[in-house]
Amino acid sequence: MASTPKIQPANERHGATTGVIDQATGMLEYARSIRRDLHTWPEIGLDLPKTRDRVLTALDGLPLDITLHKTTSGIAALLTGDKPGPTVMLRGDMDALPMPEDTGLEFSSRVENAMHACGHDTHVGMLAGAARMLSERKADLPGRVLFMFQPGEEGYGGAEYMLDEGLLNVPKRADGSDSPITAAYALHITSSMPAGFLGTKGGPIMASSDRLDIIITGKGGHASEPFRTLDPVPVASEIVLALQALVTRRHDIFDPTVVTITRMIAGTAYNVIPETARLEGTIRAVSAATRAKVHEGIKRIAEGIANAHDMNAEVIIDLGYPVTVNDGPSADFALDVAESIVGPKQVAKFPNPVMGAEDFSYVLEKLPGAMLFLGGTPNGMDPRKSPPNHSNRVDFEEDAMTTGMAVYTSLALRTLGVMLD
Ligand SMILES: [Zn+2]
Ligand SMILES: [Zn+2]
């Protein structure tokens, strides 16, 4: 298979980093082998023993100080360069999704109802590759690199567990000097962008995601005599429509929010008015202010409408990940690094955030940094038709891992002030 067809010739790149790209090209088979092993044996959630073992095998022999986290299968691996300087953190998430795989790939999942459908297997391969690349440069490295191998991104808040366990408390150097973490970067592969393309933006890059539950309680009875009951079904319907008016009429369209009711649950028979009706859904926002305001608005609307009909509404909002906010200068820096690797034609400054959610948000609440997207549409496929992330048929172009490893490595080197030729 031809490797890295998407990397631009050096004369089309600006600030070309030929050495790093050559090094990444040589690391592709290593990353591919890790990725395929993880893909075959996917694990879900915070406890990923096989995945952790595979990562430790991959890192074996490298000059890293490894901390195995206790509350999760997280791994913090610290590379200390031979020259003094600050620390930069690179993150890769490691968990799979609870779903069947129907790709037909030779290295398809052998675990029932588990699949690496979000490409986190490629993230691990790329981060381990970057750890090796940077380890090879240890003698000239003016600072340190902390590699964050994180479980439980898919709704388990793995990043928060690792932060709570002291991930960011890097020890002093042997000479007693401090080496604070000055920046953190994460990559996410997407099958909906051509392989090797890169993109991000400053400010909000991914939405907050909260789960919504509304329980309307009335009084059940005979369907033929609704006036002897308090029927929660029309009230639930009114609430669904009023929430859409809340979103469009009470919120700034330039600071958007999404409220989607995905389930309406009520009743058991055609001739019985139920006592309760239930609504479930999701709330997204791209600013903390709008997130808080829409929560308050949903409570007011649901309780107010139910009260107007002599009923009660209980609104339960289960807080998920906060908004992922890229630091502006860090995002611009990351775009510049991306251009130096793939050329300006393959780098996109996104006009809008992505409405999915990410627990790298917790890291970016504590450190300046950015999350970037890496294109991974399989070669020969149309990105618009390629099965998306989380599809049972999604596949990712492994050659894009070369670009990803070059990006991780260049981000670290340039953050630490290494000039690349
Ligand atoms: Zn995902
Ligand atoms: Zn993901």
Consecutive 10-residue averages of pLDDT for the chain (421 residues):
44 60 97 98 98 98 98 98 96 98 98 98 98 97 97 97 97 89 98 97 98 98 98 98 97 95 98 98 97 98 98 98 98 97 96 95 98 97 96 98 98 93 65
Residue 355 to residue 205: CA distance in whole angstroms = 8
Q: Which of 153, 154, 398, 408 is catalytic?
A: 398
Closest to 46 in 3D by CA, of 134, 184, 151: 151
- The whole-number pLDDT of residue 381 equals 96
Name the pairing type of β-strands 83-93 and 181-194: parallel
DSSP result, 210-230: EEEEEEEE-B-EETT-GGGSB
User: 208-318 in CATH: which number?
Assistant: 3.30.70.360
Q: Which of 321, 362, 397, 408 is catalytic?
A: 321
Domains 10-205+323-415 and 208-318 agree in fold: no
Catalytic residue status for 321 = yes
- The whole-number pLDDT of residue 255 equals 95
Strand residue runs (E) in 94-178 = 142-150
- pTM of the entire structure? 0.92
- The whole-number pLDDT of residue 174 equals 87
- From ligand 2's centre to the CA of 217, what distance in Å? 38
Per-residue pLDDT tens digits for 274-323: 999 999 999 999 999 999 999 999 999 999 999 999 999 999 999 999 99
**Helix (H/G/I), strand (E/B), else coil: 241:** helix
On the 0-12 / 13-18 / 19+ scale of CB atoms within 10 A, 118 is buried
Measured over all CA atoms, what is the biggest interatomic distance in the chain, rounded to whole angstroms?
83
Q: Which ligand is nearest to the CA of 373?
A: 2
Catalytic residue status for 30 = no
Question: Cα dihedral sign for 52, 56, 58, 63?
Answer: positive
- From ligand 1's centre to the CA of 188, what distance in Å? 9
CATH superfamily, domain at 10-205+323-415: Zn peptidases (3.40.630.10)
Residue 54 to residue 59: CA distance in whole angstroms = 9
Name the pairing type of β-strands 369-377 and 181-194: parallel
DSSP result, 9-50: PGGGSSS--HHHHHHHHHTHHHHHHHHHHHHHS--BSS--HH
- From ligand 1's centre to the CA of 40, what distance in Å? 17
Per-residue pLDDT tens digits for 318-345: 999 999 999 999 999 999 999 999 999 9
Per-residue pLDDT tens digits for 7-19: 554 444 444 477 9
- The whole-number pLDDT of residue 421 equals 65
- From ligand 2's centre to the CA of 419, what distance in Å? 31
- From ligand 2's centre to the CA of 10, what distance in Å? 31
For the chain, which residues make up each domain, given as ranges?
10-205+323-415, 208-318
Q: Which ligand is nearest to the CA of 187?
A: 2
Q: Which amino acid is at 337?
A: V
